[in-house]
Structure formats: structure tokens, C-alpha cells
Amino acid sequence: PPPLPILPLPSFSQLKWQQREVIMFLHFGPNTFTDSEWGTGAESPAIFNPTALDATQWAATAAAAGISLMILTAKHHDGFCLWPSKYTTHSVSRSPWKNGQGDVVEEFVTAATAQRIDVGLYLSPWDRHDRRYSHDLPYNEYYLAQLQELLKKYGNVKEIWFDGAKGQNAPNMSYYFSDWFAMVKELQSSINIFSDAGPDVRWVGNEKGFAGTSCWSTINRTSLAIGAEGITQYLNKGDPKGRDWVPPECDVSIREGLIPQKDAQILKQFKNTIDRIFTTNLAQNCSIKASSQRGQEFGPQNVIDDDHLWTYWAPKEDVDDHWIEIRSQGNERLRFNVVRIQEAIGLGQRIGRHEIYLDGKRIVDERESRSIGYKRLYRIKSGVVCGYALKVRFIEFKGVPLISSLGLHLDPFWNPTRLSSVPT
Ligand code: IPT
């Protein structure tokens, strides 16, 4: 029989989200015109008058970069709605853009859908414009009405962002998260909800793009409150003892508006770099050996097939020493600088400490190899290494290690002493 999963487990929608790997987030609105990150709420709708708005350019940029989901700020902290909400006049309906007849959310959804890109929305809980804000019940009702509007009107929405940012204008204002989330799930059954506390995706704890050196998709939601102080370290690392499956999402902001040529180009290069590194897996031509195998179906060959989720190597349960080895078939040494390891997370995240050896020599720092999860990429610090056999030994695990994919890759342009040597 197959091994039993260990709890907690990702939902089907969370697995789909995990496989996206790269998501585009568009922060567009009055801030674009005032060049600020947080508006005050006092901005006049008159300032929202884009002359070059082109949602097709956003979607084309995303498509060229292989991105499968784009998220748009339908309303940021300034309270201005990019769609003509029935519940406020502080929206595109009062702006000169398209004589008040425009709808950015609709243009965004149409453009994304035309490129087969899924959409996500951001609706800021903190609202510095609406007068209901600071009155719990009226504001929560207003917010619910807008959620309902957005999630009914624009088709499938695959991710929704609940930003924990909250200013001092109403410090005691409470949000009815459980009502909001229930509404969201009822209207969009395969959506993933992002917030500091999930339930489906959590913030990674910084806006610099860094996940913890150890990083667990598991965490205890009871230790998290949306917008709370002092939780960023916990969010960053997750919790090997966590009872909830809430993987982290990294967000990094650059600049706003129409996507500048320079950014579109770098994004394309980013995709090319990923393709260049990962299209060839040197392990593909190697012999794969493991400490034990659970039965026919669970052999080590599964780590080099195309399925990176549901076919995996499983060792026997009653053995303590678990390892897997990739060995060059001929006299040629393997030459690589990236090691990729993926757990079969459909059955839970299991692996803690592990060791990676090339011809018997450790090549990854002990402090940096304490979790794996969906996909762990080790860039070898010393640069390109050569050898005949790579062995991964599993030292700590919550249940027998299940490996869905292993890769040895070469990034020909990466040189540890000259990080700037990326070609154009
Ligand atoms: C920060 C929020 O506090 C947090 O809840 C999350 O939504 C995050 O943004 C997303 O980047 S506020 C930011 C200025 C650090």
C-alpha cells in the first residue's frame, strides 16, 4: 500500500497555487499618480486619469514571463475603487478617465483571460477614505458588500489578498475576518485566501523576497493574528510542529503604472534564466539508487520522471537510514551548481535535517539544510562542482521521506564571485 499522509495536508487549490511558483502583483490606482505607496484617502478622483492604461500590456508581460496568475489592487488604503462599486462614489465612476464609464478591474480580467492567465484581487481592509471606517459594523458590512460585488461580477478569482497593513486612524477598528472569509469561499470555491494568518497562503514576513533558511509550509494559525506585531520571524520560517498548511508567499514591490520596458525585459530574462537552468536535469542520465524501496510502485526512478507531485520514491517504513543517490553512468563526472529536491507534499511536509554529499564530501552547509517542502533549491556556494555521485541522506523526518523529484542543474552564467555576470 502507499504510505499514509501525515497531517496537515495542502488542499487541492493550495497545491495548484504552489505549482504556479511565480505570480504578478499589480499595485495600480491613485498612488500611481501621486507617486506614493500609501495614499491618504483625501485624493480627488480627478487625479485618476490614465492616458496610457493598457491591461493587455500587463497580461502580455506576464504571459511572456510564464506567469499564470496576476493580482490587482481593486482598492488600496486610499479607498479609491478601480471598479464602479455600487456602494461608494469614491471610484472610477467619478474620475475623468473614460468619462466615468471605465472599469479597470474588468479590463484587467478581460486582458488576463485572453492570455489564459488566472486573476486574483486585493481589497484593502484599511480604508482611509470611507466614513464608515472606524465604525465596526457599518464598515464591515460595507466591506462585505464590496467583496460580494467583486467576487460575483468578474468570473473566477483564484487568489484574494487581505493586507494586514492598518494605520492609526482607527486603532481599535476590528475586522470580521471569519465573515469575510466565509463569504469568499462561498462565492469562489477554488480561491486561495492570502493574509498574515492564511487560511490558505501566508505572508512571508518581509517585502524583500526572502523565505527563511528553513521554511515550513506548516504553521499554527492560532499563533497568528492578521496585522499583528512580532510575528514576522514565525511567518518567515513556519513551524515544523504546525497544525495548519499555510505556505508562505513572497512579495516584492518595484515601481508602479504601465510596466516599464526595463522591468518587462528583466522579467523575461528571469524566465529565460529559470528555463536555462532547469530545462536540463543531469540526473536524467544517471543511475538512481536508494537505501530501500517500499515496493514496485515507489522506486527511486520516480524522482526523475515528469510528475513532481504524485509519483515519488518511498523507502521502507521499518528502516532507520534513508538516503538516495544519483550516480553518473559512465566515466564522465557530473558538473553542476544547483541541487533541486522536492518532497511529495500531497502527503505532507516531512523532512527536517538532511545532508548532501558529492563523492563523500558535504557540499551544503549543515545550517542551511533543515527543511525541504515543495521545492528546495541549493545553489552550491563554491560554484560549479564536479563528481560522480551525489547522495542525499535524510537525518530528521516527521514520517518517512517521500521524494517526488531530484535535479542536478548547471547555471552556466552563475559565478559566486561575480553575481553581476548575468547575460542579457
Ligand atoms: C504588511 C502588512 O502588515 C502585512 O500584513 C502584509 O499584508 C504585508 O504588508 C504584505 O506585504 S505592511 C508592509 C508595509 C510591510
Q: SS3 for the chain, per residue?
A: CCCCCCCCCCCHHHHHHHHHCCCEEECCCHHHHHCCCCCCCCCCHHHCCCCCCCHHHHHHHHHHCCCCEEEEEEECCCCCECCCCCCCCCEHHHCCHHHHCCCHHHHHHHHHHHCCCEEEEEECCCCCCCCCCCCHHHHHHHHHHHHHHHHHHCCCCCEEECCCCCCCCCCCCCCCHHHHHHHHHHHCCCCEEEECCCCCEEECCCCCCCCCCCCCCEECHHHCCCCCCCCHHHHHHCCCCCCEECCEECCCCCCCCCCCHHHHHHHHHHHHHHHHHHCCCHHHHCEEEECCCCCHHHCHHHHHCCCCCCCCECCCCCCCCEEEEEECCCCCCEEECEEEEEECHHHCCCECCEEEEECCEECCCHHHCCCCCCCEEEECCCCCEEECEEEEEECCECCCCCEEEEEEECCCCCCCCCCCCCCC
Report the amino acid identity of residue 65: A
What is the rounded distance in angstroms from the CA atom of residue 140 to the CA atom of residue 216?
Answer: 33
Question: Would the CATH topology of 12-275 be identical to that of 280-409?
Answer: no
- Closest residue (by CA) to atom 5 of ligand 1? 164
- What pLDDT score does 168 carry? 86
Once rounded to an integer, what is the mean pLDDT over residues 55-71? 98
What's the CA angle centered on 308, arms 64 and 412, to 5 degrees?
55
**In the predicted model, is pLDDT for residue 53 greater than 70?**
yes
CB 57 within 8 A of CB 259: yes
Q: Is the pLDDT of residue 416 over 90?
A: no
Q: What is the ipTM of this complex?
A: 0.97
If you take atom 4 of ligand 1, which residue's CA is the nearest one? 164
- The confidence score (pLDDT) of residue 222 equals 97
Output the pLDDT for position 418: 54
Query: Can you give the pLDDT at residue 417?
Result: 65
From residue 12, alpha-carbon distances to 93, 190, 192 in Å are: 38, 8, 10
Identify the residue whose C-alpha is closest to ligand 1 atom 12: 165
Q: Which atom of ligand 1 sits closest to the CA of residue 194?
A: 7
* Arch. (CATH architecture) of 280-409: Sandwich (2.60)
Residue partners of 152: CB distance under 8 A and separation at least 6: 187
Ligand 1 pocket, mutate which of 37, 175, 203 (most atoms under 8 A from CB): 203
Label residue 421 by pLDDT band (50, 70, 90): very low
Mean pLDDT of the residues in the chain: 96
pLDDT average, residue stretch 129-142 = 97
The arithmetic mean of pLDDT across residues 82-107, rounded, is 98
420 pLDDT above the threshold of 50: no
Distance of CA 89 from the midpoint of ligand 1 (Å) = 27
Question: What number of residues does the chain have?
Answer: 424
- pLDDT greater at residue 175 or residue 169: 175
* Residue 293: predicted pLDDT: 97
**Is a pLDDT exceeding 50 seen at residue 268?**
yes
Give me ligand 1 centre to Cα 165, in Å. Answer: 5
Ligand 1 pocket mutation, candidates 31, 195, 207, criterion most atoms within 8 A of CB: 207
Question: What is the bridge-based pairing of β-strands 338-343 and 118-123?
Answer: unpaired
- Residue 232 CA to ligand 1 centre (angstroms): 10
pLDDT tens digits along 336-366: 999 999 999 999 999 999 999 999 999 999 9
- Residue located via cell numbers 472599469: 103
CA atoms within 13 A on the CB side of 149: 19
Between residues 119 and 167, the one the model is more confident about: 119
Please give the average per-residue pLDDT across 58-67, as a whole number: 98
**What sign results for the dihedral spanned by CA atoms 58, 49, 163, 177?**
negative
Query: Which of 31, 196, 224 gets mutated to test ligand 1 (max ligand atoms within 8 A of its CB)?
Result: 196
Work out whether strand 192-195 and strand 159-161 pair parallel, antiparallel, or are unpaired.
parallel
- In ligand 1, the atom with minimum distance to the C-alpha of 37 is 14
Q: How far is the CA of 324 from the centre of ligand 1 (A)?
A: 40
Which position has the higher pLDDT, 416 or 71? 71
For the segment 219-239, what is each residue's pLDDT rounded down to a tens digit? 999 999 999 999 999 999 999
State in Å: Cα 269 to ligand 1 middle. Answer: 28
pLDDT exceeding 90 applies to what percent of the chain?
A: 93
Pocket of ligand 1 (CB under 6 A): 163-165, 196, 203, 207, 227, 251
Whether residue 244 is predicted with pLDDT greater than 80 in this model: the reply is: yes
C-alpha cell at 45: 478622483
Q: Is 70 exceeded by the pLDDT of residue 419?
A: no
Please write down the long-range contacts of 38-41, taking CB distance under 8 Å and 24 or more positions apart: 38/76, 38/77, 38/78, 38/128, 38/165, 38/167, 39/76, 39/77, 39/78, 39/79, 39/80, 39/128, 40/78, 40/128, 41/77, 41/78, 41/79, 41/127, 41/128, 41/129, 41/130
> Rounded to whole angstroms, how far apart are CA atoms 4 and 268?
41
The residue whose CA is least distant from atom 1 of ligand 1 is 165
At residue 415 the predicted structure's pLDDT band, cuts being 50, 70 and 90, is: confident
The end-to-end CA distance of the chain, in Å, is 50
396 alpha carbon – ligand 1 mean position (Å): 33
pLDDT of 257 over the 80 cut: no
Chain segment 277-300, per-residue pLDDT in tens: 999 999 999 999 999 999 999 999
Domain boundaries, the chain: 12-275, 280-409
Superfamily of domain 12-275: Glycosidases (3.20.20.80)
Q: What pLDDT does 133 receive?
A: 96
